Structure 1
């Protein structure tokens, strides 16, 4: 029974290796952005809003079709007629027909009515056309809203990705700083034990190691915050990400873009809002004009009362089938016009209100356009500064590393003190963090440029 244990151990080892390999899968920037576009709730919601507005366009187009109604009813009741005025208020009165009789009676029989009706507002001074255009403008706005939401989310995810990558590199730098501090502490402790230096140096070295640990813990905390932010933007559970770091060792191949800012997704969205408001105003104006209608009715009726019932009150039949069988029919074809004259006053104010809304939207568009142009100038400046720091950072790191090495050698030989070594250690740590930030800032500046000009592909083409 023990012969299968080696095989089981091999299988378990293979499974563990596969699991480890899967867990260490590198998340590329393109994968992160695509995952966010597929998962993020706001994008999904706006996709549904777009589908809803597209369906509303079809509904608006079919609103122009004539109304075709059919109805049928079968009743049982009396037919006592009476001379006198009556208004069918809210359709609550009874439409029983019959000649007025000398006195009330309660003779009852079955009756029926079957009707087909066509009613078509065939001309209303462009009202139907403007209704369709308004629905189309709404769909167009929702489409641009969906596109600008995708653009915004892509920029947010890319920014979070770069922030997490920078945080991870800073964590590695502070880990190396802790290693240097711990190694140097061992040297100090050994020299103190040998009586070569004062004991206070070991206390100071221990303090530096503790400070390095605290700084590393803060860096890890920041890294976790950035990982959590990236997970939220991607629409996935919080987890540890292994990111692609290869691109940080180079600068982008394209640093400028000549894209037309008029095609900026955010500006296009604000343009669509103005277009929708203008179209709504044009539709509102059509409401002040009359509507011409074509109508047609065909009706057939059945009754259990005979045509001689007015002279002979016994000439009626209780038979159900005789009462509902059609016996008289009528048709009607006509054309009409309706015009609410007082509505002109209301529509005028409603149109004015919509016009002011359009002007407000135009001001919002102008503000966004101004902000994006300012952001473009800022992005160019940040790119120039980031490139300068990118080229300068390695020089600082090498110089700081050389200085630290010299100070530690001098300290070991009693030619330097702990304060000078500590200062050199700080210089190395600062140089490494400056380098990590400088590398990340180049890509952050490119992302800012892409966001400002509205061309996210300018950034994504680098990956």
Structure 2
């Protein structure tokens, strides 16, 4: 057996070992990223937008049916006066009338029946249907843009709620640590009082501070619960039991900016599509006054209780006695509508101009939001870089003052103040780190692309 054959499993085993090592040390997927991908599909408001878009998409199909012929059937039986006229006219809501004329006005009733089929077909609309379809498609584009805008808002609100819940849990944990520190201080003070090294009033001061720390923990727990309720609402979850696993967001700052955004903001796209709608309506107005050509055909039957000699046979009117048909073309040319057409076009022109100005205002607002989000994020980053020094100094000061208090060199008030300063510094550090993440989130929202935030999560 050759050496190569003996050694062939070694590369395979090495490859599998490398895969196992990479899997073991690979960073787990971000929980927030997963939630942001799932939240829009669960939120009822976005589902409503999607259904509205489906309805508008169906509107175009409905309008296309205007080119198809229609066929309507009708039948009736009646009792009416004897008087009648001969002839036929284009059938609208009235049925054609046939029969001999009466010799005079006779108001005695006779029976009559009628049934017929009426077909209408307008294969040539001179662009009227096309213009209506163009408006419907433009309105669909607006609804799709609004859906994308709503999806972005839901994702940003969900991320905000997640960060709030994460901070609420962390502040509750820090408040618990502060209660534990106060409890330890209380035992220390009680021991010193027993030894006669500290006055009895120090015990009362620490008990007061311990009670205040417990109340603070209750308040932070309630705020954390409220944040979880808001997160559950955005996630469309019936419960608030969700273990937040992206705790590293509390200890690290986001990395560099992701890829440059190349898409227009969804809000901007909404107003761009609205301009398209108003422009399409200009074409609809122009086609509104175009000629209309309709082909029609009808066949019908009549029965009358009056025969051709004018004799009344009441029950004979319940059966058909005359059968007819008719074919024709109907051309309608609107005349003397120039003033109305001009006024409508002028009105629509103002609407197009208004839509353009709304787009300009939206772009101005979005640009301001981008600048503001960038400034807030930069300010939060500068503060976050200073917070470790502040927390370290506050912790060192507390340890030193506790030692000096045990030696009788400082008062209990100094220790309590240092302990409160440490709690505030720890809380502000976590809030500042999350403020940087919020700044990144607001920048992504101002750019209209949530991926710019997702790229810095891992």
Q: Structures share a fold, TM > 0.5?
A: yes
- How big is the shift at 1:111? 5.1
Superposed counterparts of 1:203-352, under 5 Å: 203-244=204-245, 245-260=247-262, 263-287=264-288, 289-301=289-301, 303=303, 310=308, 312-313=309-310, 323-324=319-320, 328-339=323-334, 341-342=336-337, 344-352=338-346
Query: Aligned pair in 2 of structure 1 residues 393, 105: CA closer, same or farther (>3 Å)?
Result: closer
Superposed counterparts of 1:6-405, under 5 Å: 28-63=31-66, 65-73=67-75, 75=77, 80=82, 95-101=97-103, 104=106, 112-120=114-122, 122-124=124-126, 126-244=127-245, 245-260=247-262, 263-287=264-288, 289-301=289-301, 303=303, 310=308, 312-313=309-310, 323-324=319-320, 328-339=323-334, 341-342=336-337, 344-405=338-399
- Counterpart CA distance in 2 for 1:107 and 1:205 is 107
- How big is the shift at 1:364? 2.6
After superposition, give the CA deviation of every residue in 1:381-426 in whole Å (9 maximum; x if it has no partner).
2222222333322222222211111111121122222232223212
TM-score, normalised to structure 2's length? 0.82
TM-score, normalised to structure 1's length? 0.82
Q: Which residue of 2 aligns with 1:7?
A: none
Structure 1 vs Structure 2 CA RMSD: 3.4
Query: Aligned pair in 2 of structure 1 residues 185, 76: CA closer, same or farther (>3 Å)?
Result: closer
- Give ranges in structure 2 of 5+ residues lacking alignment: 1-28
1:160–1:226 CA contact under 8 A, matched in 2: yes
- Counterpart CA distance in 2 for 1:145 and 1:192 is 69
- How big is the shift at 1:131? 0.3
- How big is the shift at 1:303? 4.5
2:370–2:446 CA contact under 8 A, matched in 1: yes
- Counterpart CA distance in 1 for 2:96 and 2:300 is 18
Matched residue of 1:114: which SS?
strand
- Counterpart CA distance in 2 for 1:303 and 1:382 is 86
Query: Aligned pair in 2 of structure 1 residues 330, 259: CA closer, same or farther (>3 Å)?
Result: same
Q: Which residue of 2 aligns with 1:449?
A: 443
Matched residue of 2:99: which SS?
coil
- Counterpart CA distance in 1 for 2:151 and 2:451 is 13
- How big is the shift at 1:157? 0.5
2:102–2:310 CA contact under 8 A, matched in 1: no
- Counterpart CA distance in 1 for 2:314 and 2:203 is 121
Query: Aligned pair in 2 of structure 1 residues 329, 230: CA closer, same or farther (>3 Å)?
Result: same
The count of residues paired between Structure 1 and Structure 2 equals 428
Matched residue of 1:297: which SS?
strand
